[in-house]
Amino acid sequence: MKRIAVVKGAPSAAIQGMFRELAEGWRSGIRVAGVIEEPHGLAGRKCNAGYLRCIAEGTLYPIFQDPGAGAEACHLQGAGALLATQAVERDIAAGCDLVILSKFGKLEASRQGLVAAFTAAMEAGLPILTSVSPAFEQAWTDFAAPLFDVLPADPNQIDAWRWIMLDDTAVRPTA
């Protein structure tokens, strides 16, 4: 298995929810760094970009600007993603066992957003759990091939990948 796992097979919100649950469950046995996407909760918006929540600190980083209800333009903006990336880089430098990076999407395809966090985790040789926006799969392949495997949106298979990546150095929970 490769050190980067891309989860596919479910809507983005479901994958982000699964990442949240897995990170919470793993925190008692391993050090998890990274960010997970959360919705903005604003009605009548075309774009779903919301927040990135830092796993280690819980800090929310907005990745949107609100042009108002009914606006047709995507309101994704990169300033919050840059701050989230800096937080992830600090967490990697402080020491962690695994990194969850919510998604490789529009910002990352243009080599912005979380790209520096992906690069820092790769250079540190850390396992990375992520997802890829379907519209940017080719950009992801150009960025990360052949360093990744695709996993189904199944928490049991993702957890099995995690155990393989950590080479059983973490304490396994008893059944």
**Three-state secondary structure readout of 103-141:** EECHHHHCCCCCHHHHHHHHHCCCCEEEEECHHHHHHHH
This prediction's pTM = 0.89
pLDDT for 74:
57
- 52 or 170, greater pLDDT: 52
pLDDT for 67:
58
- Structure-token match 């996993």, residue found: 151
- The percent of residues above 70 in pLDDT, for the chain, comes to 83
pLDDT for 175:
38
Taking residues 117-138, report their average pLDDT.
Answer: 97
What is the domain partition of the chain in residue ranges? 4-37+81-165
Amino acid at 69: A
Among 16-30, 46-60, 161-175, the minimum mean pLDDT is found in: 161-175
- 51 or 120, greater pLDDT: 120
For 21-52, what is each residue's pLDDT tens digit? 999 999 989 999 999 999 766 655 565 668 89
pLDDT for 142:
97
Query: 2: which residues sit within 8 A by CB, 6+ positions away?
Result: 146, 147, 148, 149
Pick the CATH number of 4-37+81-165 from 3.40.50, 3.40.720, 1.25.40, 2.60.40: 3.40.50
pLDDT for 60:
93
Strand positions, DSSP E, 9-155: 32-38, 51-54, 60-62, 98-104, 128-132, 148-152
Query: 38: which residues sit within 8 A by CB, 6+ positions away?
Result: 16, 50, 51, 52, 53, 60
Q: Taking 50 as the threshold, does the pLDDT of residue 172 lie above it?
A: no
